[in-house]
Amino acid sequence: MTAYIIRRLLQMIPTMLGVVLLLFVLFNWVGGDPAYILAGKNTGEAQIANIRHQLGIDRPAYVQIGIFIKQIVTADFGASWSTNEPVSDILKTRLGPSLTVMVPLMVLGTLLAIALSLIVARFRGSLTDRMVMVACTVGMSISILVYIIVFQYVFAYRLGWFPVQGWGDSLWKNLTTFAALPILIGLCVGLAPDLRLFRSFMLDEIDQDYVRTARAKGLSEARILWIHVLRNASIPIVTYVMAALPGLLVGAFLIERFFSIPGIGREVLLAVERSDFPVIKAITVYVAAATMLANLAADLIYKAVDPRVELK
């Protein structure tokens, strides 16, 4: 087990190197020149050269990549080029709001999807199943942009159930007032795909022998579903949820922009707009690391729950 974990961790090194390389090629070579943003409109060659020197982007590529790798190893990405704020501070302040929206969304979404998928799996093929699936598909088919525009207008502005936008300092207030509508929108968009996937997990389990055995023993259908089927189906569900987590951090940028939530996604857009490479680097590296670790964790959980799984 330990050997397996160590091997998996070692495998992350070449992947991370690949991320570094790809990132460097995409943003340093073809991305905008940050010197021109920092210099403003009235500038000359000397000023540009000075800024490029200060940022270190006049050095050979291999030196810059070397510095980048050193930054990853020391987990110190320096300061933002445009604001001089330490990148670690930026991430710290951005992470909270993103998580405040994403964690409840993830938890609620997963629980709802599990409950609904059990119900539709129970009545598989029935009208209920069909109706729920069709309704969910319709919900999923509407563009998130439309959801945001319409929900903000109707629920926040017209009906006044939520604030139109904003973010406060207290976690509780953020969670109950400011994050509520974004979470609702997230559910509308994200519930259907989860439900469809979980339904197939449930169906896989329902066809298994142990379910038949349980039925034969006269266990109630509810008990079979909520205890036996759910326990077994939870493995792929947990795996799926774990794998989806890191990507969500950056993914909510539309919601963050419209509802003025100071999260990571908005920061990414800002950083790309300003060619703020330290911020881009840090976010990418952390998300990449989180993705790989989440994958590893998912595999380990898989193994822990189901000993038949062979770890390669």
Partner 1 sequence: MVHYCVAKLTGKEKGLQKRLYSGGLKRGVALWFIAASALSCFSTAALSQDASKTAPLKVLRMAFSTAETGFDPPRVSDLYSNTINEAIFERLLTYDYLARPARLAPMTAVALPEITDGGKTYTFRLRHGIFFTPDPAFGGKPRELTAADYVYSFKRVLDPKIRSPWAFLLEGRIIGLDALAEAAKKTGKFDYDTEIEGLKASDRYTLQVRLSEPDYNFNYVAAHTPFSAMAREVVEKYGEDTMAHPIGTGPYVLKQWTRGARIVLEKNPDYRGMIWNFAASEEGDAELISEMQGKRLPLIDRVEISIIEEEQSAWLAFDRKELDFSGVGTFREKVFDEKGELKPEWRAQGVKLMRAIDPEVTYTFFNFRDPIVGGFEKEKLALRRAIIMAYNRDEEIDVIRKGQAIPATMPIPVGVVGHDPRYQPLNTYNPALANQLLDAFGFKKGKDGFRTMPNGAPLLLKYATGTTALERQFNELWKKAMDSISVRIAFQPGKFADLIKASMACQLQMWGSAWTADYPDGDNFMQLLYGPNIGQNNHGCYESKAFDAFYEASLKLPDSPERNRLFLEMTRQMEVDGAWVLGVSRERNMLIRPWVIGYKKHPILSATWIYLDIDPAKKP
Partner 2 sequence: MTEAISSLSSTAISETHGDGKRRGFWSLACQRFRDDGVGMASLIIVAAFFVVVLLSMSGMAASGWNKEVAIHDAPPDLWGLLKPAAPTAMKSLAQRVEEETKNAAQAQSKEALPPLTVTDPLAETLQALNASEETSTAKKEKRASLPFGGDRWGRDVLSKTIKGTQTSVIVGLSAALLATFLGTLLGALAGYYGGRTDDALNWFYSVFSAIPYLLLILAVAAVLQQRGVTTVILILGLTGWAGVFRLIRAEYIKHRGRDYVQAAHAFGVPDRRILFFHILPNVSHVVLVNISILAVGFIKAEVILSFLGFGVKVDEVSWGSMLNDAQSELILGRWWELVAAGGAMALLVTAFSLLTDAMRDALDPKIQRTS
Q: Which residues bind partner 2 (CB under 8 A)?
A: 14-16, 18-19, 22-23, 26-27, 30-32, 124-126, 130, 133-134, 137-138, 140-146, 149-150, 153, 157, 196, 203, 247, 249-251, 253-254, 265, 268-269, 272, 280, 283-284, 287-288, 291-292
Q: How far is the CB of 176 from partner 2 (least distance, A)?
A: 26
Residue number with CB closer to partner 1 (155 or 240): 155
Residue number with CB closer to partner 2 (100 or 291): 291
In order, the DSSP letters of 98-150 are HHHHHHHHHHHHHHHHHHHHHHHHHTTTSHHHHHHHHHHHHHHHS-HHHHHHH
Residue 54's binding partner, choosing from partner 2, partner 1, none, with beta-carbon cut-off 5 to 8 A by kind? Answer: partner 1
CA distances, 272 to each of 26, 34, 278 (Å)? 11, 10, 10
Burial class of residue 134 (count of CB atoms within 10 Å of its CB; 0-12, 13-18, 19+): exposed
Interface with partner 1 by CB under 8 A: which residues? Answer: 32-34, 36-45, 47, 50-51, 54, 79, 82-86, 90, 93, 97, 149, 152-153, 156-157, 160, 163-167, 169, 257-262, 266-267, 270, 273-275
Residue number with CB closer to partner 1 (151 or 201): 151
Rounded-to-integer distance, Cα 81 and Cα 274, Å: 9
Q: How far is the CB of 265 from partner 1 (least distance, A)?
A: 12
Residue number with CB closer to partner 1 (67 or 149): 149
CA angle 134, 136, 141 (to 5 degrees): 95
Q: How far is the CB of 74 from partner 1 (least distance, A)?
A: 17
Q: How far is the CB of 72 from partner 2 (least distance, A)?
A: 13
Q: How far is the CB of 42 from partner 2 (least distance, A)?
A: 26
Q: How far is the CB of 50 from partner 2 (least distance, A)?
A: 25
Token pair of 275 as six digits:
């060619």
The three-class DSSP label of residue 79 is strand
Query: What is the dihedral angle through the alpha carbons of 63, 69, 75, 81, rounded to the nearest 10 degrees?
Result: 40
Residue 266's binding partner, choosing from partner 1, partner 2, none, with beta-carbon cut-off 5 to 8 A by kind? Answer: partner 1
Residue listed under structure tokens 């690391």 = 289
Residue 265's binding partner, choosing from partner 1, partner 2, none, with beta-carbon cut-off 5 to 8 A by kind? Answer: partner 2
Residue 85 contacts by C-beta under 8 Å, 6 or more apart in sequence?
79
Residue number with CB closer to partner 2 (27 or 178): 27
Taking phi over 0 as left and psi of -120 to 50 as alpha, with beta for the rest, 218 belongs to left
Residue number with CB closer to partner 2 (24 or 161): 24
The three-class DSSP label of residue 86 is strand
CA distances, 139 to each of 101, 195, 226 (Å)? 20, 12, 26
Residue number with CB closer to partner 1 (8 or 257): 257
Residue 133's binding partner, choosing from partner 2, partner 1, none, with beta-carbon cut-off 5 to 8 A by kind? Answer: partner 2
Length of the chain: 312
Residue 10 contacts by C-beta under 8 Å, 6 or more apart in sequence?
none
Q: How far is the CB of 145 from partner 2 (least distance, A)?
A: 5
